[in-house]
Structure 1
Amino acid sequence: MNSIDAVILEVADLAAANRFYSALLGPDSPHLRLRASGTPTTGFRGFTLSLVVSQPGNADALIKAALDAGATSLKPASKSLWGYGGVVQAPDGTIVKIATSAKKDTGPVSQEFDEFVVLLGVEDVKATKHFYADRGLTVGKSFGGKYVEFATGAGHVKLGLYKRRGLAKDVGVSAEGTGSHRLVLSGVAGPCKDLDDFVWEASASAPLTATV
């Protein structure tokens, strides 16, 4: 059921990215790895990371940590019908949404988060859902051609599919972009490249050691 072992970000400045994600996620995150790469890329890379937290105070704490570590604000934290949250862009270009469905704090504020989600922006949600289902991923939630979420165990990386333009609009950027996604997913679907050129590596046979 754990479809993703780790999210691997390919970054131009490995040392700088390591400092940023250590400040945001902690130095021993099991969810993320970094890999040096100078592969050309411009604009929206077609994916976002999302940290789902339990209360607004935690969202504010994580957003502040990200901004203090060099992130750029794309959407300042604010209340909405669905809850509270904001969007930042890491120094390496990765877009991170930090949000909660809660409207008020119910406990001590911290930088803890409950879910680590990678959302892939794809051209055809239904076709990509079938692509992954054929490779062993189990669909947890499906809303036609708009959104798909794959089942995963607690504490593991969650994978979702969203229309590319819808995902870009949600985080406040243009959907235009060229070149590499600068993203590699390690998990049960790999090794493969999906319909939108997202790359997967095979699952590691041993537990992963995070590099950030």
Structure 2
Amino acid sequence: MTSLESVTLEVPDPTVANAFYTAAFGSSTQVGIRASEAPTTGFRGYTLSLMVSQPATASGLIDAAIDAGATSLKPAAKSFWGYGGVVQAPDGTIWKVATAAKKDTGPATRQIDQIVLLLGADDVAASKQFYVDRGLAVAKSFGRKYVEFATPSSPIKFALYGRRALAKDAGVSADGTGSSSAAMPGPSPTRTGSRGSPHQSEAGGGPTSTASSHRRRPAPPRASRDRQSSPAVLATAPSAIPWGTPRGRVQSRSTG
């Protein structure tokens, strides 16, 4: 069974991003950063969630992120499912910090229980099949609305959601173009083109999967359209630097 070990964020200035993430959320070996000047505008087609144990911890992390320079997209508040809020990092990444608990059970901490990568797909069913074909098993599926993959030994949960629904949940417009500016280790060095058809990767390094599901537009030159594909993209990428830690290499593993 494929295990998702880490996610890499592509940022214009890794030093600045590292300082922000360390101040906002503390050190992490599950989320790395690397330099990239790939153009991107608007919603990038994914969100990252930090799941915590109680509202006080969620509020503390959200406040720390805002103090470090993040923009509040949805203030922390109670909801039907629990408690949480949404912020956007200076590099553009959208983060939800949430808990299923509605009451505190102790003092606030900075403990993060789980990271969730939620990819917004124009076609959830096609994206689901794309990842199933590459070794991921489905844990939950609700038609064309939501799919959660089975990665029980992974520190990161991976799921698919409709692009517009995900943008609405994040509090932003669904419009966006260019690079998704995020990648995750994957089981093969294959990509899809702008129409979802696979072709060989042009980059070198270890296999990763770029989280991308931007809206289709008239076909741009090949160099840019690889990153605008829907339902998904697999690519290769170099090592990343986990924020708040020495240089490290992102990797995936398969078990079973």
TM-score, with structure 1 as normaliser: 0.90
The alpha-carbon deviation at position 201 of structure 1 amounts to 4.8
> How many Å apart are 1:199 and its aligned residue?
4.1
More deviation, 67-76/145-154 = 145-154
What aligned pairs does 1:68-87 form with structure 2 within 5 A after superposition?
68-87=67-86
Alignment of 1:22-61 (within 5 A): 22-27=22-27, 29-61=28-60
> Which position in structure 1 is the counterpart of 2:253?
none
Distance 2:237 2:242 in 1: 14
Structure 1 CA distance for aligned equivalents of residues 237 and 39 of structure 2: 26
Aligned equivalent of 1:191? 189
- Partner SS state of residue 99, structure 1: strand
| Greater C-alpha radius of gyration | 2
> Secondary structure at 1:34's aligned position in 2?
strand
Structure 1 stretch displaced more, 29-38 or 146-155: 146-155
Compared CA separation, residues 43 and 79, structure 1 to 2 (3 A)? same
Give the Å deviation of 1:191.
2.1
Unaligned 5+ residue runs, structure 2? 197-212, 214-228, 245-256
Structure 1 unmatched runs, 5+:
none
Q: 2:242 aligns to what?
A: 210
Which residue is equivalent to 1:116? 115
Q: What RMSD over aligned residues (CA atoms) do the two structures have, in Å?
A: 2.0
Q: Counterpart in 2 of 1:96?
A: 95
1:32 positional shift:
0.8
Distance 2:107 2:33 in 1: 31
Instruction: Tell me if the contact between 1:114 and 1:155 (Cα under 8 Å) persists in the aligned partners.
Output: no
User: TM-score, normalising length from structure 2?
Assistant: 0.76
Aligned length: 207
Query: Is the 2:33–2:241 contact (alpha carbons within 8 Å) kept by the matching residues of 1?
Result: no
In the aligned structure 1, how far is the partner of 2:51 from the partner of 2:92?
20
User: In 1, distance between residues paired with 2:109 and 2:53?
Assistant: 10
Shift of 1:6: 1.3
1:13 aligns with 2:13: yes
Report the equivalent of 2:208.
Answer: none
The 1:47/1:96 distance shift into structure 2, 3 A limit, reads same
What percent of counterpart residues are identical? Answer: 58
Does 2:162 match 1:130? no
Residue 108 of structure 1 deviates from its aligned partner by 2.5
